[in-house]
Each structure stands twice: as structure tokens, then as C-alpha cells.
Amino acid sequence: MARRRSRSPSLPAWSQSATAPAVAGRPNREGCRRPAGPVISASPMPIQPGTNLGAYEVQELLGQGAMGTVYRAYHQALARTAAVKVLSALSPDPDATGRFRREAQSIAQMRHPNVLNVYDFGDYEGTPYMVVEYMPGGSLSDRLKAGERFDRETSLLLLEGIGAALDYAHGQGVVHRDVKPANVLVDSRGHPVLADFGLAKLLQSASVKTVSGVTTGTPAYMAPEQVMGAAVGPAADTYALATMAYEFLAGAIPFEGEGMLELLYAHVHREPPPASSRNPDLSPAVDAVLAKGLAKDPAARWESSAE
């Protein structure tokens, strides 16, 4: 570990300042021993049941994460249940809110069976929120944390749906930037629905309260160019999808580390072990497909996520 840290100047300066000492215990699903959600801070404000956010009445708290807080809400006139994401990581200045609205408008126009619908957006006491489709089936992350393993057929069906969603979004000029199991919800038919499209960019482009210079994302699924703070395009989503494919098929993420810095270093400088070394039922052909998706050079990856 000491040797790896001595080489850390090859990573951006923010990666060192954002890295805290490892916490004892087993690595989490994001690959490191400390929480490894999106690298931003948040101070979610509590909203009481019965509060109206636009036409939606808040009913209950669903969850809380690095990007804000999620509530279940109800639109009386439309008889529609929805989820409201209160993005409390966003700086409350007029310019930031304007950029947020412009980005949110482009995301709300996307329509695809594997993309979570955005119904509305607004602000509550100066804090932006988005109203999105409600998915009571939970996320793939919930299922993985519960110990569920996806067989090959299920994995391929899930990956096909996620890849189709990404390919559609890329055609619309939208890059996700934070593809991971926690952002893949499951509908009533068991189909994957990708959530939080462009949310990382919404927050980053609208003055997010981050560690100085931090690129938003989740360390276990971040492409090398994303780690290095370079321009991020569709290839970064392809890398994250390949990481998920590796996780589904091999039963573990490609890289694990004692802390965030070690994990980020691995994305940039190390090659993952072949997935077949963790699951002997996988063929060399599968290893080759995953290796191409996990290539360090964005230009060497699959040209589209749907491939």
C-alpha cells in the first residue's frame, strides 16, 4: 500500500485530498472499505409528509444518499405516485439553478422503455428537486447486497436493457456518468430501468459542493479518464457497464482496495484479473469481451454500449 501511495502523483490532486484512512472491515460492494458513493457532500433537508412540492404531495421518506433525499409523493389530479429527488448537494445560487433547469429539460425529454421517466422539476425553498417515475421493485444494488447472484441468462437480459438505454441516451447527446447497480431499478416485469441519467453532470455543472476539482461518480465504476478528471464521453458509460457485466458474471467487481485512492489507482494503472479466474464457468471469449469494455483507452472500448 505504501508503494502505491508513493506513486499517487500520477492521479489528480483531488484524489489524494478526498481519500480518508481505510475503515476496518470487509470491502463494500463499491470496492473499498470506506463509503464510496458519488464523491460529493450533501446536507439533505427534512421534508415533512403532507408538504406540497409543486403538484405533488410528499407521503414518506424513501431513502437518503450523497446526492440528496428521495421521497414518495402523490399527484392527486393525475392519481399518480412518483418519487421526488431533492438535490440538496446543489449550491443555492441563481446561475446554478438556471444551469440545472436547462440540463433537466434535456433529460426530461428522453423516452425509452429502459430509461426512468422524469415528470417534473422545480425547487423547494431554493433547493432543486426532480420528480421521477416510482419503481417499488428496488434496485439491482439491493438485490446484490441481499446476496442474490444473477445467472448468465438473467445477466445478459439485464445488461442488454441497460446497454440499450445508454445507446439511446448517447444518441441524444446525454452521458450518464454514474452507471452502477444502485442506479438500475427493476419494473413490475423484471426489466431494468436506468435512473439518474445525467444527474452527475447536472450537479457538477451547477456548482456542486464538492472537494475542490472532484469529478462526480462512484469509484468502483469510474473509467480511467473520469478518475483523471479528463473529458468524459459515452466510452465512460461503456466502461461502467463492462464493470457491472464483470460483477454479474464473476460475482465480484474487477478491482477492490483498502481505500478510495487504491481503488482509483487500479482503474488507471492495473489490469483486472480475467473474470474466468473467479468463475470457471466463463469462457475465454467472455474474458475478451469484458477486457475490451474495460480497456484503459476509451477509443479501444466497444463503440457503443449496446454492443
- Positions marked active-site: 178
| Per-residue cell: 149 | 447472484
**Radius of gyration (Cα) for the chain, nearest Å?**
19
Distances (CA, A) of 205 to 15, 77, 128: 19, 34, 14
Q: What ranges make up the beta strands (E) of 35-76?
A: 52-53, 56-65, 68-75
Other Cβ atoms less than 10 A from the Cβ of 244: the count is: 24
225 three-class SS: helix
Starting at the edge strand that comes first in sequence, how are the strands of the sheet with 80-86 ordered? 52-53, 56-65, 68-75, 80-86, 127-133, 118-124
Q: Judge whether 177 and 221 are in contact, CB under 8 Å.
A: no
For the chain, percent helix, then strand, then coil, each to nearest 5?
A: 35, 15, 45
Asked whether 181 and 150 are in contact (CB, 8 A), the reply is: no
